[in-house]
């Protein structure tokens, strides 16, 4: 009977088809029943492979809006966009899948449905590649293929609402050392010190103040004022120290001093070099996806600045993990997908000398500015101090003093800015080295060229320009003195070398103006760029700024301002140390380097420092030697601008003072120079750049800092006081609590 019924149906359909095409015998067969629409031919169906590819391409860039628009209506009715996006994102995060590849294998197409077989390979940070072959089902809606999505299209094991979980194995964070193997950062037990004013006795006060100064570097006078003006039971937070660093003060234990033990990633010597090393913070919500794809669980602390950030991949080690599939409620394991073992973190050794870094920071403490110390002939950075600085221990949440220290940071003048590499300043008279080089290379100036250096220079009509000696004269007259000293009378007739030695402003304005008159207005700017100014130095491990060197073109005022390092000139101390090192080493500009090596737990270093030459100063050997000799005369000639402040320094040096207009009453103080002592000391020569913002003249303030750095490098610690000190770190006005002990020199 079934066969007969089917036969009747076929006959009827054949008859209807014949009628619709003109009827049997091609005669019209009228009917009142509307005919069904013609069946769409299979050949007109859209390309299903293109549809599935569009979905996965959107998945690759995580365009969840586009992905969701490619789902069928019934799927969209069952899951909101936000939930759809979350499920896909969570799966990628849990797998630590930073990327994936897919391949369409085959497809089976019907007029209104299709099946596409595909292979997907997730590339994960923790458990390697995860590859699966699956089948996607699609339906035709409004002439477009729409995906019948479910969780199983991420991984087949997730069908039915199963979820992924990763069991992480996280190695300890790597340590950071100086070039001599002294620890700069390591996981350590430490003490957080504080004072309870009510427990301080008259007998303990002197010892307490001196020992806190020795350990923490806190002014005795300021701390005494705070003790006297703080309620008895209000704690005064001090600093942190490792067990070894605090052995002396804890053994003395003056009354009123208390401490709390804690364990953390500790930055030694109250965060020496924090502006270089940086700090760690917890992973924020905006970065969570990024770090999860890299294999992080999400609750770790990661590098946020400096070496901690640059070396994150080395210091974090390789995490291990086991990837499981759990039931939808998360109560039972369905299967284990993959696993990997962790690998220990590497240690980072810096080119920094911890002792030199410590004393460089102390040398400019109380100033705003920076110091850069480089090996003259290699590009190694031995010290890079920035003031005001900060203690990276402030960012450790287990540190009891953390909140108070972070609050204090907000009151300082941008302590997180590394002024050594990010600070941009007019260079002032140190720039005259470059102007001298441009003048000689133009052929318009030779060593024998002379100039009569007087108070005034008037070749431009905009204003009268005065030499620095004129201002000294005005200062003496205001004090009721006569202008009869070498620094307050005009320098007179000078050779080109003597012009640099005396830092005669009119001489260098005249060089700039002469170049302008001879259609060479950009010569100085071109020479500055050849010296590495106005561009990044290429240091890789910390953030830096490029400075600014503009072409004056047809503006004579800008040319003469540029000739003495003013106008639009902007440089970083790192750039200055680099080009001064090049002058001293024979003309080679090296890439500044902060990392000596990356050392695994076992085996040879994976990265080892090698000097990298980046360029050569565009000077003939004779002209370079002429500049070197002129810089030596700045220090050694009795009329040299640095002679008075550098007298008594036993190490031979060359340098240049700089006093740069700051837009404030007091100018920026500069000194840049290098040593010439390797043959006699066995130590590599160094180049140093010093900038002190709004401090005064370079010879009075920056040159003494330079001297102190040289003493520390060759002798292990400072040997002489600043002219304004009564002791190290103390102004000429002594404290009421007696002399302050000098700190014990650090091991080299």
CATH number for the domain spanning 284: value is 3.90.1310
Q: How many CA atoms lie within 13 A of 446 on its CB side?
A: 1
Q: E strands along 642-718, which residues?
A: 653-660, 668-675, 686-692
Instruction: Report, as an integer, the average pLDDT of 91-111.
Output: 96
pLDDT of residue 45: 82
Q: What is the pLDDT of residue 6?
A: 39
**Integer Cα distance of 200 and 104 in angstroms:** 78
> Do residues 116 and 216 share a domain?
no
Helix (H) or strand (E) holding 487: none
Q: Among residues of the chain, what percentage have pLDDT more than 70? A: 92
* pLDDT score of 34: 53
Q: Which CATH number goes with the domain that contains 105?
A: 3.10.450.100
Indicate whether 133 and 172 sit together in one domain: no
**Domains: count for the chain:** 4
| Whether residue 427 is found in the same domain as residue 530 | yes
Q: Does position 33 have pLDDT exceeding 60, yes or no?
A: no
How many whole angstroms separate alpha carbon 570 and alpha carbon 468? 21
Residue in 664, 668, 579, 665 with CA at minimum distance from that of residue 615: 579
CB atoms closer than 10 angstroms to residue 61 = 9
Strand, helix or coil for residue 240: strand
Report, as an integer, the average pLDDT of 75-80.
97
Given a cut of 90, whether residue 672 has pLDDT beyond it is: yes
Per-residue pLDDT band for 58 (boundaries 50, 70, 90) equals very high
Phi-psi domain of 68 (left: phi exceeds 0; alpha: psi -120 through 50; beta: other):
alpha
Assess whether pLDDT exceeds 50 at residue 738. Answer: no
| pLDDT interval class at 409 (50, 70, 90) | confident
Alpha-carbon radius of gyration of the chain: 37
Say if residue 386's pLDDT is above 70.
yes
- Whether residue 736 is predicted with pLDDT greater than 80 in this model: the reply is no
Could you tell me if residue 596 is inside a domain?
Answer: yes
Q: Which of 11-25, 303-317, 442-456 has the weakest average pLDDT?
A: 11-25
Q: Work out the pLDDT band at 405, boundaries 50, 70, 90.
A: confident
pLDDT reported for residue 268: 96
CA distances to 438, 520, 534 from 553, rounded to whole Å, are: 15, 8, 16
Q: Return the DSSP state at 698.
A: I
Q: How far is CA 313 from CA 303, 308, 322, 392, 562, in A?
A: 10, 9, 21, 20, 43
Between the CA of residue 533 and those of 536, 550, 578, 580, what are the distances in Å?
A: 8, 10, 10, 12
Specify whether 120 is located in the same domain as 23.
no
The pTM score is 0.87
Answer yes or no: is pLDDT of 491 > 90. yes
User: Per mean pLDDT, which range of 272-281, 340-349, 408-417 is the poorest?
Assistant: 408-417
Q: Among the residues of 21-130, which ranges form H helices?
A: 48-60, 64-69, 73-78, 81-95
- Going by pLDDT thresholds of 50, 70 and 90, the confidence category of residue 36 is low
Q: Which one, of 672, 537, 688, lies nearest residue 615 by Cα?
A: 537
Mean pLDDT, to the nearest integer, of 678-696?
96
Q: Is the pLDDT of residue 615 over 50?
A: yes
Q: Which residue has the higher pLDDT, 504 or 410?
A: 504
Question: Does any domain span residue 704?
Answer: yes
Instruction: Collect all residues with Cβ–Cβ distance below 8 Å to 245 and sequence separation of at least 6.
Output: 215, 268, 269
Q: Given pLDDT bands bounded at 50, 70 and 90, which one contains residue 730? A: low
Query: 381 in a domain, yes or no?
Result: no
Q: Record the tokens describing residue 454, joined without a space.
A: 């007087």
The residue-averaged pLDDT of 489-504 equals 97
- What does the block give as tokens for 710? 């040289």
The residue among 303, 321, 339 that closes a domain is 321
Considering the domain architecture, whether residues 552 and 610 belong to the same structural domain is answered as yes
Task: Write down the pLDDT at residue 27.
Answer: 38
**b/e map of 447-456 (b: 16 or more CB within 10 Å)?**
eebebebbbe
Final residue of a structural domain among 321, 353, 384: 321
Both structure tokens of 699: 């010879």
Q: What is the pLDDT of residue 484?
A: 87
Question: Is the model's pLDDT at 743 over the cut of 70?
Answer: no
CATH of the domain at 620: 3.40.710.10
Residue 21: its pLDDT value, please?
A: 42
Rounded CA-CA distance 231/197 in Å is 7
Mean pLDDT value across residues 459-476: 93
Q: Looking at the structure, do residues 9 and 60 belong to the same domain, yes or no?
A: no
Same domain for 106 and 208? no
- Rounded-to-integer distance, Cα 153 and Cα 116, Å: 11
Whether residue 475 has pLDDT greater than 60: yes
Does residue 656 share a domain with residue 514? yes
User: Which pLDDT score, from 0 to 100, does residue 665 have?
Assistant: 84
301 assigned to some structural domain: yes
Average the pLDDT over each of 16-20, 89-93, 650-654 and give the range with the smallest value.
16-20
pLDDT of residue 23: 41
In a domain, 333, yes or no: no
Q: Are residues 607 and 582 in the same domain?
A: yes
Helix (H) or strand (E) holding 651: none
Domain that holds residue 10: 2-38
Cβ partners under 8 Å of residue 40, min gap 6? 111
266 within 8 A of 274, measured Cβ to Cβ:
no
Within 8 A by CB and 6+ apart from 499, the residues are 432, 436, 451, 453, 507, 508
The secondary structure of residue 286, as a DSSP letter, is: G
365 belongs to a structural domain? no
pLDDT score of 4? 36
- The mean pLDDT of the chain is 91
Residue at 466 is within a domain: yes
Of 321, 343, 361, which residue constitutes the final position of a domain?
A: 321
Residues 526 and 570 in one domain: yes
**Does 116 share its domain with 175?**
no
Q: Are residues 525 and 657 in the same domain?
A: yes
Paired with 360 in beta bridges are: none
The pLDDT of residue 413 is 87
- Establish if 315 belongs to a structural domain: yes
């Amino acid at each position: 009977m079934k066969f007969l019924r089917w036969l009747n149906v076929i006959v009827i359909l054949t008859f209807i088809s014949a009628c619709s095409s003109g009827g049997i015998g091609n005669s019209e067969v009228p009917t009142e029943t509307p005919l069904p629409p013609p069946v769409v031919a299979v050949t007109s169906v859209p390309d299903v492979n293109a549809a599935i590819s569009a979905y996965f391409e959107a998945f690759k860039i995580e365009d969840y809006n586009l992905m969701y628009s490619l789902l069928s209506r019934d799927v969209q009715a069952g899951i909101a966009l936000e939930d759809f996006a979350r499920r896909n994102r969570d799966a990628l995060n849990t797998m630590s899948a930073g990327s994936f590849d897919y391949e369409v294998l085959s497809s089976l197409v019907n007029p209104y449905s299709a099946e596409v077989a595909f292979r997907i390979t997730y590339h994960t940070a923790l458990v390697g590649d995860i590859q699966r072959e699956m089948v996607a089902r699609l339906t035709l809606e409004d002439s477009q293929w729409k995906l019948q999505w479910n969780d199983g299209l991420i991984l087949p094991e997730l069908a039915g609402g199963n979820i992924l979980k990763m069991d992480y194995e996280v190695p300890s964070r790597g340590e950071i050392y100086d070039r001599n193997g002294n620890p700069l950062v390591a996981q350590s037990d430490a003490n957080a010190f504080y004072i309870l004013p009510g427990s301080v006795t008259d007998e303990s006060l002197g010892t307490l103040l001196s020992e806190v100064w020795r350990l923490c570097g806190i002014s005795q006078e300021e701390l005494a004022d705070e003790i006297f003006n703080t309620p008895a039971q209000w704690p005064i937070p001090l600093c942190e120290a490792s067990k070894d660093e605090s052995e002396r003060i804890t053994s003395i234990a003056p009354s009123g001093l208390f401490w709390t033990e804690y364990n953390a990633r500790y930055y030694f010597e109250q965060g020496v070099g924090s502006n270089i090393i940086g700090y760690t913070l917890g992973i924020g919500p905006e970065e969570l996806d990024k770090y999860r794809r890299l294999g992080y669980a999400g609750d770790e602390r990661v590098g946020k600045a400096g070496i901690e950030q640059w070396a994150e991949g080395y210091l974090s080690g390789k995490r291990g993990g086991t990837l499981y599939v759990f039931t939808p409620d998360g109560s039972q394991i369905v299967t284990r997908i993959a696993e990997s073992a962790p690998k220990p973190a590497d240690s980072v050794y810096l080119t920094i000398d911890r002792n030199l870094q410590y004393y460089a920071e102390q040398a400019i403490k109380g100033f705003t500015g920076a110091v850069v110390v480089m090996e003259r002939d290699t590009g190694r950075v031995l010290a890079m101090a920035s003031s005001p600085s900060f203690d990276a221990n402030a960012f450790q949440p287990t540190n009891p003093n953390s909140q108070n220290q972070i609050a204090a940071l907000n009151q300082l003048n941008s302590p997180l800015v590394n002024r050594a590499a990010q600070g941009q300043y007019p260079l002032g008279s140190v720039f005259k080295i470059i102007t001298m080089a441009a003048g000689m290379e133009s052929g318009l100036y030779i060593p024998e060229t002379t100039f009569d250096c007087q108070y005034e220079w008037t070749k431009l009509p905009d204003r009268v320009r005065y030499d620095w000696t004129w201002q000294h004269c005005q200062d003496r007259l205001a004090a009721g003195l006569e202008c009869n000293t070498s620094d307050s009378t005009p320098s007179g007739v000078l050779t080109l070398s003597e012009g640099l030695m005396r830092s005669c402003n009119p001489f260098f304005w005249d060089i700039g103006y002469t170049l302008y008159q001879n259609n060479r207005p950009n010569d100085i700017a071109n020479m500055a760029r050849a010296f590495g100014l106005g561009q990044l130095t290429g240091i890789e491990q910390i953030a830096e700024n490029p400075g600014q060197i503009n072409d004056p073109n047809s503006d004579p005022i800008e040319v003469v301002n540029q000739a003495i390092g003013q106008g639009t000139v902007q440089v970083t101390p790192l750039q200055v140390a680099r080009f001064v090192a090049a002058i001293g080493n024979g003309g080679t500009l090296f890439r500044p380097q902060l990392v000596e090596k990356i050392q695994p737990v076992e085996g040879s270093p994976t990265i080892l420092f090698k000097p990298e030459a980046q360029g050569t100063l565009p000077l003939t050997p004779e002209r370079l030697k002429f500049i070197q000799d002129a810089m030596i005369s700045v220090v050694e000639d009795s009329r040299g601008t640095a002679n008075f402040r550098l007298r008594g320094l036993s190490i031979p040096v060359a340098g240049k003072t700089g006093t740069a207009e700051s837009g404030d009453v007091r100018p920026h103080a500069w000194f840049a120079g290098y040593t010439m002592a390797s043959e006699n000391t066995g130590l590599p020569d160094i180049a140093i750049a010093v900038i002190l913002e709004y401090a005064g003249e370079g010879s009075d303030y920056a040159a003494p800092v330079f001297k102190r750095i040289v003493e520390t490098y060759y002798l292990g610690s400072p040997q002489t006081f600043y002219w304004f000190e009564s002791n190290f770190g103390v102004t000429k006005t002594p404290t009421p609590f007696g002399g302050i002990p000098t700190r014990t020199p650090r091991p080299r």
